[in-house]
Chains A and B, each alone.
Chain A
């Protein structure tokens, strides 16, 4: 199940614009790694290169290697669709499919990949909703549209949808930034549970959240607007927040930044 991620000398470009420079990092299986840093420093960009989602933007390009258990996901033979089946993603704003019921939302990935065995779909649906801590709240109304849930429930529905296709790695792009503190707490508890089975990478603007949920923290920064973003430092979360090596990290964490 959970796999290891290694980035080696990754540079990301949008057309001529050099967005992120020379990222090297490793993410251990069954761990949570958080990306922190100021807006525009490229942390979301790096996250989106991990499942080739940035390719949806015209002109985007990646140099270097992104290895999933040693296999380069940018290898010429590898298919972006297959990569995304292995590396799932949860987005900043909850985005359930508006035309589908709660059940169909959860199993959308499987169904559209060609699984039609109703018994299996029902099992996966229940397991995924339980995995996302949403089963108790929605089990009575699986046929209702997903858009009728609250924001926090919708986000957990999106997590259920992402884990229903059984990925090896789960990427989360500021999953709590549109949610209230109670829903945020629910998602954070969920992340702690999901860690037992998945490798998780999470982008967050909330440093307390990074400190609460992650084992490892990476700090990204950029020298000036227009310059490429860089990975400043990556270390155990406790080290980053108590005794960072770089002055820039300490400035950012202690609020002396910009």
Chain B
């Protein structure tokens, strides 16, 4: 059975029948109000455990077995805490800001295909939708910093907006190869394409795009080493300095939801969604139209999908427990001088890969080998070129010129 028809038959497209309405209501109630916040709660627990292990501690172990009830205790604490709003703050905007950030994180999850038929909505321009809703969160962060009437909040908000706007560009450009190969903006079609041609991360331009997407994604959700906007040793807590109680809890929820969402999107775009094997459409080809086959295939897909997402989440915790924070100017330079040129070059390499491998319509061993060697060498040369150019630029500048304090101390 053709993979594409199986997937499209499951997507809710134009008709708003009672069945669709019930499915959407279930998604809202069970998924968005139940499972996703639950996942976030246990991500926090996992992060505390993982970070504790990295620092040779034990981590939460008092509330329930292995501290498993800790997230619930945390949630109750956040809800019953008093929410303090500073007197000069702009009341309405102060309330609106965390809501916008949270809505942005939730809306991102609405187009993720977790398994066959297990996708809340599949708009034909899903990827544009994804980028659009994730571009709402800088607005919320900015409003949070502005409405607090606190200079640390404002500095944090300005840093956040500068960082998020900069890293959005490489993040969007890194998805272009995927769109080019799949010939569609729908995430279901992209999944479908990978069932035919292997995971996108297993192509040379795809691997580069994957790396760029991940780096930019970590920056988009303000995680270490890109957590300059909330650097507690410099600007207290950045844009959410003046937030307490559940309003702070919403920011917290949005941040972890963002981590989960970016992991899901990276899995779908580059690691073939829930497919366990790179070059076979294994669980999808089990589907023969019967209900049992759907359940079997979806169970495999969902389990593998969640395992991959967990891998990403663990990698982010690992990075956070290991690396120090980047300085703001180096952070911006990295986006504009490394990631953006790499992305633009990568689009050319992706076009070459499209011509060599994807154009015939099915994967052939000979063309694939030619593509791997030819486009692979091209991509490696492109990465070398960008790093070489940056090294030349850096060598031309005087030593310590990027460290204003040193120049000032020398009287320069």
Binding partners A and B = no
